[in-house]
Amino acid sequence: MNDANEEGGGGSAGFKCDPVSRTLPASGIQILHPGEVHVWFAVPEELPRESLREIEGWLSPDEQLRCSRFQQMADRRRNLVGRALIRSVLSSYLQTDPKSLRFVENEFGRPELEPSAAYPRLRFNLSKTSGMVACCVARNHEVGLDIEDLRRSVDVTPLATRFFAPAETRDLLALPEHARRRRFFEYWTLKEAYVKALGAGLTIPLDQFWFRLDPAPVRLALQSPSSDDPADWQFEHITPAEQHLIAVAIRRQGADLPLIVRRWAP
Ligand SMILES: CC(C)(COP(=O)(O)OP(=O)(O)OC[C@H]1O[C@@H](n2cnc3c(N)ncnc32)[C@H](O)[C@@H]1OP(=O)(O)O)[C@@H](O)C(=O)NCCC(=O)NCCS
């Protein structure tokens, strides 16, 4: 796979990738400044068997049970690595043991850290696709993240017509055939990142909001302007590998926040 690089930072703030600490172990202590958003990604297939055994021990019995329910080995591994990634990354900021973290879910299934007087409030979101898992973390900002495998087989036109807002579908269909697939995933990841940042998932109708990609930066528009304020949001695309695309949605006041992108290994 390719390394994360500066070219992937499509938005106005772009992202910074520290070449020295690009691959970081779970045990390291990390600092997350209030004005930053950190994005971590991992390639489940690259983890050796002994690492998988170790990280499985970090999961709660409930998380282990959920992983074991997947029939396909690749799905089981992806879900295991996703939960381990979250535990490892959060515990490195909180300077605690990954096993000790406890989660609660909101009414739409979004996991959050159990409120605790011992820890500062961290916001995070996780996404998984074939070949990669990724998460983002921020201190005081709502964040959402979606990752997609660009090789995934999709019927671009019917899916866009069904799920996208008319402005997005028009933009997509005006492109030459060869460019539509990538544009489809640009919209798809942004839409998922936004509904995930709001925490309500599919209860938000996907054609009630849309994105303008050109000229950069990415901008949000809403069918019902009273539902949210587009000016509060920052959206970024990251290409951690040639065949993977990440979108991050950040609710922030004022200027765009810098994104720091790192690859994770236990
Ligand atoms: C969970 C949801 C928000 C995203 O699901 P998904 O795309 O299948 O899965 P992802 O891998 O991106 O994300 C899954 C992770 O998101 C987190 N999550 C679960 N519910 C969530 C919610 N309501 N809000 C934010 N994050 C949520 C969890 O960490 C979950 O992983 P885990 O169960 O291992 O902890 C889904 O309910 C949803 O609403 N998806 C939108 C689907 C869609 O139709 N998109 C079309 C875009 S055009």
Q: Strand, coil or helix: what is 214?
A: coil
pLDDT the model gives residue 15: 46
Domains observed in the chain: 5-265 (3.90.470.20)
82 touches ligand 1 (CB under 6 Å): yes
171 touches ligand 1 (CB under 6 Å): no
Q: Which of 89, 107, 126 to mutate to test the pocket of ligand 1 (most atoms within 8 A of CB)?
A: 126
Nearest atom in ligand 1 to the alpha carbon of residue 187 is 48
Q: Which of 164, 183, 192, 250 to mutate to test the pocket of ligand 1 (most atoms within 8 A of CB)?
A: 192
What digits encode the pLDDT tens for the residues 17-65?
443 334 555 556 788 999 999 999 999 999 999 999 999 999 999 999 9
* Confidence check: pLDDT of 16 > 50: no
Nearest atom in ligand 1 to the alpha carbon of residue 82 is 34
Q: State how far the Cα of 119 lies from the Cα of 244, in Å rounded to an integer.
A: 33
Of 97, 101, 99, 95, nearest to 115 (Cα)?
101
**For range 138-162, the mean pLDDT:** 95
pTM (two decimals): 0.90
What's the per-residue H, E or C state across 25-70?
CCCCCCCCCCCCEEEEEECHHHCCHHHHHHHHCCCCHHHHHHHHCC
188 touches ligand 1 (CB under 6 Å): yes
* Residue of minimum CA distance from atom 2 in ligand 1: 201
